[in-house]
Amino acid sequence: PENRFNSLTCYFASDVCQEQFISRLVWLGSKQVLGLDGIGEAGWRALHQTHRFEHIFSWLLLTPEQLQNTPGIAKSKSAQLWHQFNLARKQ
């Protein structure tokens, strides 16, 4: 059904919530929320597919090595993401 998701759903990854979960990650990284530069929908998808996030804050547990070894994310990009993620931890 169209009204299956609302503002209180899909904070945890599941098969049913896959698209909404990615949308939540994109929203969380947006300029209006955490302002994570350098990551959009494709980046979140790559991270989630590789590291199988349990919830929308699972990315905070990623190590620099995990970011470097994520298919689809260049090593130079992984260093930038690590920096952005560290800034988010301090917010």
Q: Is the pLDDT of residue 15 over 60?
A: yes
Structure tokens at 52: 């199988």
Question: Is pLDDT of 1 > 80?
Answer: no
**Domains, the chain, with CATH or none:** 11-89 (1.10.150.20)
C-alpha to C-alpha distance for 30 and 18, rounded to whole angstroms: 19
Whole-prediction pTM: 0.90
Amino acid at 21: F
pLDDT at 91: 85
d(CA 74, CA 77): 5
Q: What is the pLDDT of residue 2?
A: 64
Q: Taking the CB of residue 58, how many other CB atoms lie within 10 A of it?
A: 16
**pLDDT tens digit sequence for 17-71:** 999 999 999 999 999 999 999 999 999 999 999 999 999 999 999 999 999 999 9
Q: Give 8's strand partners.
A: none
